[in-house]
Structure 1
Amino acid sequence: MKSTLKMAMATALLGSAIGLASPALADFPEKPVEMTILFGGSAQTVGQILADGMSKALGSPVVAVSRPGGGGAIGYSHVNGTDADGYSIVWNSNSISTVHYQGNIPFDYKAFAPIARIGSEVPVLAVSTKSGWTDLKSMAEAAKAKGQPLKVGVSGLGSFTHLAAAALFDKLGVKVVYIPYGEGRAPAELLAGRVDAAIQWPGQFIPHVQNNTIAMLCSTGMEKIAIEIDVPTCHEAGATDLNVTMWRGLAAPAGTPDDVIAKLQDAAKATVEDEAFANAARNLGFEPGFLPAAEFGELIASDDAVISELMTTLGLKNK
């Protein structure tokens, strides 16, 4: 009788323990989720809009915190050092591969658990309208005739825009000198004449194109970017088969519970599928395109291999 009573009490206590453990995940989030933003410009703007949308979907704040620097190294290192509980996530991109192979972080994409791809963004090549260059061909011909390297502005040496620029000018056979500038500085550097051309996200250039002070000559993806301004692809403009596109998404430290990843994924999906988010993002040259965690993880791994090979070919790989 006593033995049976003890077993019943033990079973009850075990059931209570399980009952207390389960709601910890079911109640996620119980406090604000911090989203680390790695870059400024359109990445920061879209990231903030995403955080606002996810806050509504989760019913709890998602706070966007800017941690730029080192081509993403500072932000990735911060999130990598936090607990794997879903309360610290990163607005990530292909930069996880470029910054790793550049040698700026000791870990690679496997240090993070994918949450969802949010969409993609394609760099564009832009010049000042004072240059007189109206297309990629005229710029390349002028550069070759001059016999001196073009000064090309990029976000940072070893950054994704540097990779895109190197791939483009390698195909064109044009000699260049890469000049890094601070976040959001591309239009100012072009207009001041400190660089001859710049590779950057279209959202930074659109107002200046509308004012006829800057021209976007081409975009580096295989498909045209979905903005009101008609910009040919670099493939169409003469850099045959060039296809360099950046995905952007969300990730958490590896080991974050699947239940938590699922809740964050669902909040991201609800936000991306909201028409207001889609319209705001497209106005910045960002194309929404949701992928769930599993498919996003496959994309990250596939692109990592491509980036590794491309950086090796272009002499940009240090790791």
Structure 2
Amino acid sequence: MKTRTLTSALLSSVIAVGLVGTGSQARAEFPEKPVEMTILFGSTAQTIGQLLADLMSKNLPEPVVPVSRAGGGGAVGYQYVQSTDADGYNIVWNSNSISTSYHGGRIDFDYTAFEPIAKISVEVPAIAVRADSGWDSLTDMAADIKEKGTKLKVGASGKGSFTHLTTEAILASQGLTDMAVHVPYDQGRAPVELIAGRLDAAVQWPGQFISHHEAGTLKILCVTSAKRIGQLPDVPTCEESGAEGMDITMWRGLAAPAGTPMEVITKLEAAAKAAAESDEFKEAAQTIGFELDFADHATFGELIARDDADIAKLLEDVGLKAQ
């Protein structure tokens, strides 16, 4: 009886140790299946996200699979990822849109519903017009519109989107808020709409305008960051063009549902860092038109919190903050 009891106890101990060891090994081997990366937008956001996913896959034992879940200015994708298990197998290619979506009333949770993984890049909105518009600056554009007393047809992504918010800030800086008509358009159509004359001006990411700007069919008046950007060193900032104090940029990065284990976050962060620092990603930054700006999960989290407060104020200032 004593022998059987001792044998049973030893067997139980072996099983318990084995289970603990298996659990530790499983955590150490994350990921054991593909990681799904939700992409919120098309155009350059999708291009960069897909490249990032591909390069991260080279630094993980399982692939990172990009899945488009566009709609609602990012709300559709955020709602999906926020509802998934906090295990690292569902992440989102996120941006300032988490704050515009929340403060704009499209989702009922804020940035704290997600655990930051890493900041990857920065994109700077640009405002472009047709090359034959006769406008060389924001000041020129505003003066002409006011003199003629006409409405400026200005395009951006859907209402409440980051480019729409940027558009409203530009218009306000020139006293054109009541003299403009916002024309939403599908992703990637800004140059087409401008060239066709259905828009007088458009606010979008520089990558959509650069080839047309260089070809002489469109003119980029300015970029909204505090400093000129590397892809367009000869294009002034909007502050230089007449918008005093303007500094609006969009960061992009990765996040997972809140509660995701830190060991999982750090593995994803390491894969993202290796991808972002690769020659292929650096070359894409120049070709597509974005600035590489990696930050670890802790630094990224601090930025998101600061940025959230700034976006809430900006939305309130232009009358787009949900009550």
TM-score by length of 1: 0.96
1:177 CA drift (Å): 1.6
1:273 CA drift (Å): 1.0
Q: List aligned pairs for 1:114-263, cutoff 5 A.
A: 114-174=116-176, 175-228=179-232, 230-263=234-267
1:135 CA drift (Å): 2.1
Match of 1:311 among 307, 315, 318: 315
Are the aligned partners of 2:137 and 2:242 in contact in 1 as well (CA < 8 Å)? no
Counterpart in 1 of 2:299?
295
% identical aligned pairs? 56
Q: Distance in 1 between matches of 2:12 and 2:255?
A: 40
User: Per-residue displacement from partner, 1:66-87 (whole Å, max 9, x unpaired)?
Assistant: 1111101111111112221111
1:133 CA drift (Å): 1.4
For residue 255 of structure 2, give the secondary structure of its aligned residue in structure 1.
Answer: strand
User: Per-residue displacement from partner, 1:259-298 (whole Å, max 9, x unpaired)?
Assistant: 1111100000001111220121232221011111111111
Q: Distance in 2 between matches of 1:58 and 1:161?
A: 34
Are the aligned partners of 1:282 and 1:288 in contact in 2 as well (CA < 8 Å)? no
Are the aligned partners of 1:154 and 1:180 in contact in 2 as well (CA < 8 Å)? yes
Q: Distance in 2 between matches of 1:216 and 1:284?
A: 16
Q: List aligned pairs for 1:68-107, cutoff 5 A.
A: 68-107=70-109
Distance change (3 Å), C-alpha of 1:215 and 1:56: same
Are the aligned partners of 2:59 and 2:271 in contact in 1 as well (CA < 8 Å)? yes
1:103 CA drift (Å): 0.9
1:271 matched to 2:271? no
Q: Distance in 1 between matches of 2:104 and 2:206?
A: 25
Q: Distance in 2 between matches of 1:254 and 1:68?
A: 21
Q: Any unmatched runs of 5+ in structure 1?
A: none
Tell which deviates more after alignment, 197-206 or 278-287.
Answer: 278-287
Counterpart in 2 of 1:41?
43
Are the aligned partners of 2:123 and 2:290 in contact in 1 as well (CA < 8 Å)? yes
User: Per-residue displacement from partner, 1:41-91 (whole Å, max 9, x unpaired)?
Assistant: 111111111111101111321111111111011111111122211111110
Are the aligned partners of 1:218 and 1:234 in contact in 2 as well (CA < 8 Å)? yes
Are the aligned partners of 1:225 and 1:285 in contact in 2 as well (CA < 8 Å)? no
1:152 CA drift (Å): 0.9
Q: Distance in 2 between matches of 1:228 and 1:152?
A: 22
Are the aligned partners of 1:135 and 1:217 in contact in 2 as well (CA < 8 Å)? yes
Q: Any unmatched runs of 5+ in structure 2?
A: none
User: Per-residue displacement from partner, 1:94-130 (whole Å, max 9, x unpaired)?
Assistant: 0000011111111111111110000100000000112
User: Per-residue displacement from partner, 1:188-221 (whole Å, max 9, x unpaired)?
Assistant: 1111111110000000111111221111000001
Are the aligned partners of 1:120 and 1:246 in contact in 2 as well (CA < 8 Å)? yes
User: Per-residue displacement from partner, 1:166-206 (whole Å, max 9, x unpaired)?
Assistant: 11111111232211111111111111111110000000111
For residue 94 of structure 2, give the secondary structure of its aligned residue in structure 1.
Answer: strand
Distance change (3 Å), C-alpha of 1:228 and 1:148: closer
Distance change (3 Å), C-alpha of 1:272 and 1:136: same
Are the aligned partners of 2:119 and 2:294 in contact in 1 as well (CA < 8 Å)? yes
Counterpart in 1 of 2:287?
283
Tell which deviates more after alignment, 145-154 or 293-302.
Answer: 145-154
TM-score by length of 2: 0.94
Q: Distance in 1 between matches of 2:148 and 2:87?
A: 57
For residue 118 of structure 2, give the secondary structure of its aligned residue in structure 1.
Answer: strand
Are the aligned partners of 2:38 and 2:69 in contact in 1 as well (CA < 8 Å)? yes
User: Per-residue displacement from partner, 1:205-240 (whole Å, max 9, x unpaired)?
Assistant: 111112211110000010111105621100111111
Letter matched to residue 64 of structure 1: P
Letter matched to residue 310 of structure 1: L
Letter matched to residue 248 of structure 1: R
Q: CA RMSD in A?
A: 1.6
Q: Distance in 1 between matches of 2:162 and 2:265?
A: 27
